[in-house]
Amino acid sequence: MKIATSGKGGVGKTTLASLMAMAYADAGYNVIAIDANPDANLALALGISPEEADNITPIIELQDLIYERTGAQPGTIGGNFKLNPEVSDIPDRFSIERNGIKLLVMGTVKGPLAGCVCPESAMLKALLMHLVLRRDEVVILDMDAGVEHLGRGTAQGVDAFLIVVEPGQRSLQTARSVKKLAEGLNIHNCYAVGCKTRNESERQFIKDNLPGFPIPGFLDYNEDIVKADAEGLNVYERVPQAVKNVQEIQQEMERLLSNP
Q: Which residues bind ligand ATP (CB under 6 A)?
A: 9-15, 37, 39, 195-196, 219-222, 225-226, 229
Q: Pick the closer one to ligand ATP by CB: 72 or 103.
A: 103
User: What is the smallest separation between the CB atom of 39 and Mg ion, expressed in angstroms?
Assistant: 7
Residue 186 to residue 73: CA distance in whole angstroms: 33
Q: Is 6 exposed, middle or buried (0-12, 13-18, 19+ CB in 10 A)?
A: buried
Distance in Å, CB of 13 to Mg ion, minimum: 5
Q: Which stretch binds Mg ion (CB under 5 A): 14-22, 97-105, 109-117, 176-184?
A: 14-22
Binding partner of 10, given ligand ATP, Mg ion, none, CB within 5-8 angstroms per partner class = ligand ATP
Is 18 one of the binding residues for Mg ion (CB under 5 A)? no
Residues 6+ apart with CB under 8 A from 195: 11, 12, 15, 16, 164, 165, 166, 218, 219
Give dist(CA 75, CA 113) in Å, integer: 8
Residue 14 contacts Mg ion per CB under 5 A:
yes
CA dist 186 and 130 (Å) reads: 18
Secondary structure element (H or E) that encloses residue 201, with its range:
helix 200-209
Q: Which does 98 bind (CB under 5 to 8 A by kind): Mg ion, ligand ATP, none?
A: none
* Smallest distance, ligand ATP to C-beta of residue 109, A: 17
C-alpha to C-alpha distance for 109 and 115, rounded to whole angstroms: 8
CB of 144 to ligand ATP, least distance (A): 6
How far apart are alpha carbons 19 and 169 in whole angstroms?
Answer: 25
154 belongs to the binding site for Mg ion (CB under 5 A) = no
Which residue has the closest beta carbon to Mg ion?
A: 14
Inter-residue contact 167 to 202 (CB < 8 Å): yes
In the complex with ligand ATP, which residue's Cβ is closer, 15 or 121?
15
Number of residues that bind Mg ion (CB under 5 A): 2
Binding site for Mg ion (CB under 5 A): 13-14
